[in-house]
Amino acid sequence: MRKAMAVGRKEFWQIVRDGRTLMILLFVPAFFLGLYGYALNFDIRHVRLAVMDREHNRDSRQLISSFTNSTYFDIVFTETSMADIERLMNEGAIRAALIIPEGMSRDLRSGGVAQVQVIINGDNANTATTVFGYAQAIVRGVSAQFQLEMITGGQRRPPISAEPRIWYNPELTSTLFLVPGLIGFIVMISSVVSTSMSIVREKERGTWEQVRMAPISNVSYVIGKTIPYFAISLVSAFFIIAAAMVLFGLPMRGSWLLLLFTVSLFLAGALGTGLLVSTLVDSQSLAFQVSLLISMLPTIILSGFIFPIASMPAPIRAVTYVVPARYFLAALRAIVLKGVDWHVVNMELAALAVYAVGVLGLASVRLGRERL
């Protein structure tokens, strides 16, 4: 244990003196959080809308004001013609257009189906789908009101109305959903990259040979190497979480102790991954590339950070079971957004623990082979 402490203390001095490592551990995470936190936002607001109203009556005005009041749409042009709409859409001045045909009210009152047209710029399929969903919801709402009005003779209040209550993230802001993923992503990258460089750097400088000549067990060495990175990454992770609360309004509904435990397990696995990489490669540049690749891609694509795991094809979904970020994200979201107890996330915690022990064990074994 004395030997592990010696390694840990040495490693800590090195990290503190080596600006590069400290930057990877502290500055890069903050930078990523700012960059991704603001850029990654799937909510679409203030879609520029042109309106072509051929009806000009109370009903059509009501429909238009429903669009305006939704805040999803900003009406930037009214009284346009078809030719105007085509030109504005081409110029990119509008992303959507609402066309209310003559005779809408007549069709409505006669019990028939009145049609309005919504034109959406489909050059970005994701955005178009979202905008279409908004438009559909608004039209449906207005149409329900019209229907009611006809039945009740002017009284505009529905007898039964579904009032949605969205829990945990009432405004459905994607930021709240994304930030935990972002935290996992940043923590993973900075800890894997920094540890992967640590042993490789010793190989390059020749100090590795000196350490191998010393009577120290692999486990002591791995423990000693990991502890300082663990401590610094932990501080960094909580700094990111705190920043996410201040900048993006991330709530903290659960227990801090549980959060600390979860982050610790995740960090142990990430640091083990970094150590494992550094036992496999011989140059710092390769270590950097490999660790970036194996930490970044799975954490972005296969963890449920951006793409929901439930909607992945079965073979890919199977792969996600070995991505530690998947469990971390599930647990983190549950803790900060829902405020759940430990027993709700115990499966995730167990998976993280298994990963950490496995990868640290593998790193020790690999290190042992390197030494002989």
Partner 1 sequence: MPAVTVRDLTRHFGDFVAVDHVSFDVEQGEIFGFLGANGAGKSTTIRMLCGLLKPSSGTAQVGGIDVGRDPEGVKRRIGYMSQRFSLYELLSVEENITFFGGLYGLDDDAIARRRDFVLEMAGLRGRERTLARDLAGGWRQRLALGCAILHEPPILFLDEPTGGVDPVSRRQFWALINQLSRGGVTVFVTTHYLDEAEHCHRLALMQAGRIAALGTVHELKGIFSDRAIVEVRTPSPMEALRALDDLPSVEKTSLFGTALHVWLRHGERDTAPLRQRFAERGLETESIEIVQPSLEDVFMDVVERAPGASA
Tell me which residues touch partner 1 (CB under 8 A).
2-3, 5-7, 9-10, 13-14, 17-18, 205-216, 371-372
Q: Give the shortest CB-3-to-partner 1 separation in angstroms.
A: 6
How many CB atoms within 10 Å of residue 161? 9
Q: How far apart are alpha carbons 302 and 320 in whole angstroms?
A: 5
Compute CA 33 distance to the chain's CA centroid, rounded to the nearest angstrom: 11
5 vs 316 by CB, closer to partner 1: 5
Minimum CB separation of residue 15 from partner 1 in Å reads: 9
Q: Which one, 208 or 307, has the nearer CB to partner 1?
A: 208
Closest distance of CB 351 from partner 1, Å: 35
Residue among 47, 52, 102 at smallest CA distance from 77: 52
Q: How far is the CB of 198 from partner 1 (least distance, A)?
A: 12
**Rounded least distance, CB 231 to partner 1, Å:** 18
| DSSP 3-state of 178 | helix
Closest approach, Cβ 315 to partner 1, in A, equals 39
- From CA 196, how far away is CA 365, in angstroms rounded? 16
Nearer to partner 1, 211 or 357 (CB): 211
The DSSP string of 5-19 is HHHHHHHHHHHHH-H
Nearer to partner 1, 148 or 211 (CB): 211
Rounded Cα distance, 261 and 255, in Å: 10
CA 178/CA 367 separation, integer angstroms: 37
Q: What is the DSSP string of 230-258?
A: HHHHHHHHHHHHHHHHHHH-----S-HHH
Report the residue number, 179 or 197, with the smaller CB distance to partner 1: 197
Q: Beta-carbon neighbour count of residue 355 at 10 Å? A: 22
Whose Cβ is closer to partner 1: residue 220's or residue 262's?
220
Tell me whether residue 212 or residue 317 sits nearer to partner 1 (CB atom).
Answer: 212
| CB of 25 vs partner 1, minimal distance in Å | 15
Between 24 and 131, name the residue whose CB sits nearer to partner 1: 24
Main-chain dihedrals φ then ψ at residue 356, nearest 5 degrees: -60, -50
Contacts of 178 (CB under 8 A, 6+ apart): 40, 41, 42, 305, 306
The conformation of residue 344, written as its DSSP 8-state character, comes to G
The count of C-alpha atoms lying within 13 angstroms of the C-alpha of 153, restricted to the half-sphere facing its C-beta, is 0
CB of 9 to partner 1, least distance (A): 7
Q: Which is nearer to partner 1, 181 or 224 (CB)?
A: 224
357-362 long-range Cβ contacts below 8 angstroms, 24+ apart: 358/272, 359/269, 359/272, 359/273, 359/276, 360/222, 360/226, 360/268, 360/269, 360/271, 360/272, 360/275, 362/272, 362/276
Return the closest-CA partner of residue 266 out of 288, 234, 240: 234
